[in-house]
């Protein structure tokens, strides 16, 4: 084994950098120095996906150049190397979210597959006619549809916790909806459309008191704030690697071991069994029983490297940096004529969603693009929350760890141009 590989394999949890220096870390993202339509790229679409540092890209390349083999199969050297790296990355994900043991980490394609896994493997056997699943009004479609389809199939009811005008869950309504009929509470930690940070710990405590399990959609929280699943107390937590500076097509489902143990896999095939005869199959141990087929090996390894990168920066410092930008951005955008923020919760992460009096969100997005500013315009795969505000779409600037106040200033200047064009 090469020295480089040995050192990566045995990497301890990385040490924090002495300081969080945004100008220095921007150099880790060469794409941020490129131009769009002749203007420097200002990347403010981090809720859709984040850019990748070279260490992550190198990990993908290193895998194919020197480590490529299938995992958990061969006794040959390469297969063992690949398996070690793959399982090492799992352990790193465990540390990142402070799960108790690494078998509570199941690799999935992303948050969407993670939520579907819970719906199929936990929800289907546990829901019956008259049972209830509680979700909030601000869920992404990935945390609505699996429950809606399951409730239809089982004769169960999908109940929706209302939100207020600021975009906060109305906790009194949650208390009112919660009952012994509630079997599952599935809530987003940070809303992709509004930026609201939900009081997940309180929701978990209340849901557990009536015997419900809690599924947290962490797609937008894990990249931006420290996560401690044991402190939150949730039963399941879903994440997408590509939103946290890792590759696409990989993510995780965290599940408490006792829950995972009791569940039946919903995908079956290779690698998830201990023995198969035509009469009977014995499933593999956790977490492998939920990982049918050849997994996204290089994606898992590279996500582990992305998490190393984040741990070196320190998620507390990432959160503080983005919070400062959010406060600055909120102030600056409120100064833009005819702009109205959508989502003004007291507890917010780095999402600036807004509409403008004079221009449709798609036109806003188009003009911003001409200024080199990448944002998303649309319903953000959260149509019910758009309906809540009587909107079809918003324009959304979403922050990442490499953004700066200068990025916000360019955004504001481009928005003034929108006003000029539509005046
Ligand atoms: N949950 C939330 C809260 C999300 O924001 C997203 C993706 C998902 C689940 C699904 O993640 P996936 O990686 O499985 O697709 N959100 C967005 C967005 O806001 N813009 O593009 C994708």
Residue 37: count of CB within 10 angstroms of its CB? 9
Dihedrals phi, psi of 253, to nearest 5 degrees: -115, 120
Strands 373-374 and 42-43: parallel
Ligand 1 center to 245 CA (angstroms):
14
Strands 39-40 and 35-36: what pairing? antiparallel
First vs last C-alpha separation in the chain: 65
Distance in Å, CA 246 to ligand 1 centroid: 14
| 77-311 under CATH 3.40.640.10, yes or no | yes
State the closest ligand 1 atom to the C-alpha of 192, by its place in the atom list counted from 1.
5
297 vs 178: CA distance, rounded Å: 40
DSSP three-state, residue 50: coil
Question: Could you tell me the CA-to-CA distances from 342 to 43, 157, 352, 391, 406 in Å, in that order?
Answer: 20, 29, 8, 10, 22
What is the C-alpha separation between 384 and 217, in angstroms, rounded?
A: 16
Tell me which CATH code domain 315-421 carries: 3.90.1150.10
Instruction: Give 339-373 as a DSSP string.
Output: EEES---SSB-SEEEEEESSS-HHHHHHHHHHTTE
Query: For the chain, what are the domain ranges?
Result: 77-311, 315-421
DSSP 206-235: HHHHTT-EEEEE-TTTTTTS---HHHHT-S
Closest atom of ligand 1 to 139 CA is 3
CB 12 within 8 A of CB 311: no
Among the atoms of ligand 1, which is closest to the Cα of residue 190? 3
Residue ID of nearest Cα to ligand 1 atom 17: 48
The sign of the dihedral angle between the CA atoms of 14, 20, 24, 29 is positive
pLDDT of residue 10: 52
User: How far, in Å, from the CA of 48 to the mean position of ligand 1?
Assistant: 6
Do residues 322 and 226 make contact, with C-beta atoms less than 8 angstroms apart? no
Q: In tens digits, what is the pLDDT along the chain, a chain of 423 residues?
A: 344 444 444 568 889 999 999 999 999 999 999 999 999 999 999 999 999 999 999 999 999 999 999 998 888 999 999 999 999 999 999 999 999 999 999 999 999 999 999 999 999 999 999 999 999 999 999 999 999 999 999 999 999 999 999 999 999 999 999 999 999 999 999 999 999 999 999 999 999 999 999 999 999 999 999 999 999 999 999 999 999 999 999 999 999 999 999 999 999 998 888 999 999 999 999 999 999 999 999 999 999 999 999 999 999 999 999 999 999 999 999 999 999 999 999 999 999 999 999 999 999 999 999 999 999 999 999 999 999 999 999 999 999 999 999 999 999 999 999 999 998
| Beta bridge partner(s), residue 376 | 396
Give the residue, by CA position, lying nearest to ligand 1 atom 7.
Answer: 48
Residues with Cβ within 8 Å of 354's Cβ and at least 6 positions away in sequence, in order, are 333, 339, 340, 341, 342, 394, 395, 396
Measure 180 CA to ligand 1 centroid, in angstroms.
Answer: 30
Identify the residue whose C-alpha is closest to ligand 1 atom 5: 192
Neighbouring-strand partners of residue 398: 45, 351
Q: Cβ < 6 Å from ligand 1: which residues?
A: 47-48, 110-112, 140, 142-143, 188, 192, 217, 219-220, 240, 376, 380-381
- Ligand 1 midpoint to CA 63 (Å): 27
Residue 281 bridge partners (DSSP): 276
* Chain position carrying tokens 């992709």: 192
Distance (Å) of CA 304 to CA 250, 310, 314: 11, 10, 15
Question: Rounded to an integer, what distance in angstroms lies between the CA atom of residue 155 and that of residue 157?
Answer: 7
Question: Structure pTM?
Answer: 0.96
117 secondary structure, DSSP code: H
Residue 313 φ then ψ, to 5°: -70, -35
Place of tokens 């953004």: 403
> What is the number of the ligand 1 atom nearest to the C-alpha of 382?
19
Ligand 1 pocket test target in 219, 303, 352 with most atoms within 8 Å of CB: 219
Q: Are 353 and 342 in contact (CB under 8 A)?
A: yes
Residue 292 CB partners (closer than 8 Å, separation 6+): 265, 267, 268, 269, 270, 271, 272
CA of 42 to the centre of ligand 1 (A): 21
Say if residues 215 and 185 touch (Cβ distance below 8 Å). Answer: yes
pLDDT at 350: 97
Q: Give catalytic residue positions.
A: 381
Ligand 1 atom with the smallest distance to the CA of 217 is: 1
CA angle 158, 160, 166 (to 5 degrees): 165
State phi, psi for 137 to the nearest 5 degrees: -75, -10
């Amino acid at each position: 084994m090469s020295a480089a590989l040995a050192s990566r394999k045995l990497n301890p949890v990385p040490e924090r950098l002495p300081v969080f220096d945004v100008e220095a870390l921007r150099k880790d993202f060469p794409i941020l120095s490129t131009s769009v339509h002749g203007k420097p790229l200002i990347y403010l679409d981090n809720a859709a996906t984040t850019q990748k540092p070279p260490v992550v890209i190198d990990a993908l390349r290193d895998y194919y150049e020197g480590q490529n083999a299938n995992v958990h199969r061969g006794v040959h050297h390469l297969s063992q190397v690949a398996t070690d790296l793959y399982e090492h990355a799992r352990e790193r994900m465990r540390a990142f979210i402070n799960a108790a043991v690494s078998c509570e980490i199941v690799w999935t394609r992303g948050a969407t597959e993670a939520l579907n896994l819970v719906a199929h493997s936990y929800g289907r056997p546990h829901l019956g006619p008259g049972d209830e699943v509680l979700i909030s009004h601000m869920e992404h479609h990935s945390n609505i549809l699996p429950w809606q389809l399951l409730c239809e199939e089982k004769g169960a009811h999908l109940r929706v916790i209302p939100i207020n005008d600021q975009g906060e869950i109305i906790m009194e309504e949650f208390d009112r909806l919660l009952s012994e009929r509630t079997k599952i509470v599935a809530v987003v930690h940070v809303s992709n459309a509004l930026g609201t940070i939900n009081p997940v710990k309180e929701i978990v405590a209340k849901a557990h008191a009536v015997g419900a399990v809690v599924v947290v959609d962490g797609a937008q929280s894990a990249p931006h704030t420290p996560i401690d699943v044991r402190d939150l107390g949730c039963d399941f937590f879903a994440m997408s690697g590509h939103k946290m500076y890792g590759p696409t097509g990989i993510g995780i489902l965290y599940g408490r071991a006792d829950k995972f143990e009791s569940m039946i896999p919903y995908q079956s095939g290779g690698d998830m069994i201990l023995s198969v005869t035509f009469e009977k199959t014995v499933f593999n141990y956790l977490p492998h029983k939920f990982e049918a087929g050849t997994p996204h090996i290089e994606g898992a390894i590279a996500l582990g490297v992305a998490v190393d990168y984040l741990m070196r920066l320190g998620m507390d410092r990432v959160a503080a940096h983005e919070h400062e930008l959010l406060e600055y951005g909120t102030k600056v955008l409120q100064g833009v004529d005819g702009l109205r923020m959508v989502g003004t919760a007291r507890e917010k992460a780095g999402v600036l969603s807004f509409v403008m009096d004079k221009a449709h969100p798609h036109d806003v997005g188009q003009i911003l693009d001409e200024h080199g500013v990448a944002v998303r315009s649309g319903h953000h795969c959260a149509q019910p929350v758009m309906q809540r505000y009587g909107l079809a779409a918003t324009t959304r600037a979403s922050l990442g760890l490499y953004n700066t106040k200068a990025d916000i200033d360019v955004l504001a200047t481009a928005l003034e141009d929108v006003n000029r064009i539509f005046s």
